C-alpha cells in the first residue's frame, strides 16, 4: 500500500527554523558583548587603582608626580617613569583594554608635576564601579 504522505520539510517550516536560529544567535551575541564590556570595565577599574597606588609611591619617592599629558599606552612617560622607579614591573600592562591610543577613551593622564594629577578613564556599562562614561581620578 502506497502512502500519499510526502517526506521532507515545507518551505514555511524551514523559514520558521531559520528565524528561530537567528533569534537565538542574536540573543547569544548580545550577551557575549555585554560580558566583554563588563570584563573590560573591571580591568579598567583595576588598572586605574593600580596606577593610583603606583603614582602615590612615585610621589613619595620622587617628591612630585610625573609631568605628562596624554594617553597611558605602555610607552608613555608616566609608564616609563613608574618602571624606572620600580613602581610597576615590565610585564604590567596598564593600558585601556579597548582603545589604548584613542584620546577619547584611553586612560588619559594630565600632570604638571607637583602634588596633583588627573587620570580619566571611560566605563562602557553602569555597574558598582560607576556610571557609563568618563570618570576622573585625582590624588
pLDDT at 26 over 80: yes
- Average pLDDT of the chain to the nearest whole number: 87
pLDDT of 92: 74
Query: What's the Rg (C-alpha) of the chain?
Result: 25
pLDDT of 33: 82
pLDDT of 4: 61
Contact 72, 78 (CB under 8 A): yes
pLDDT tens digits, 79-98? 999 999 888 887 777 888 88
What's the burial of 128, exposed, middle or buried (CB within 10 Å: 0-12/13-18/19+)? exposed
Nearest to 43 by CA among 95, 99, 111, 91: 95
Task: Tell me, yes or no, if the pTM score tops 0.85.
Answer: no
- From CA 139, how far away is CA 131, in angstroms rounded? 20
pLDDT of 118: 95
pLDDT of 55: 94
Amino acid at each position: 500500500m502506497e502512502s500519499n504522505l510526502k517526506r521532507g520539510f515545507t518551505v514555511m517550516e524551514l523559514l520558521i527554523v531559520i528565524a528561530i536560529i537567528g533569534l537565538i544567535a542574536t540573543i547569544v551575541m548580545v550577551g557575549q558583548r555585554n560580558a566583554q564590556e563588563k570584563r573590560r570595565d573591571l580591568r579598567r577599574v583595576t588598572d586605574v587603582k593600580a596606577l593610583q597606588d603606583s603614582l602615590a609611591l612615585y610621589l613619595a619617592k620622587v617628591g612630585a608626580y610625573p609631568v605628562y599629558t596624554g594617553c597611558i599606552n605602555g610607552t608613555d612617560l608616566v609608564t616609563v617613569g613608574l618602571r624606572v622607579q620600580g613602581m610597576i614591573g615590565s610585564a604590567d600592562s596598564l593600558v585601556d583594554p579597548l582603545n589604548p591610543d584613542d584620546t577619547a577613551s584611553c586612560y588619559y593622564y594630565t600632570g604638571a608635576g607637583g602634588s596633583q594629577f588627573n587620570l580619566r578613564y571611560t566605563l562602557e556599562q553602569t555597574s558598582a564601579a560607576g556610571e557609563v562614561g568618563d570618570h576622573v581620578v585625582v590624588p
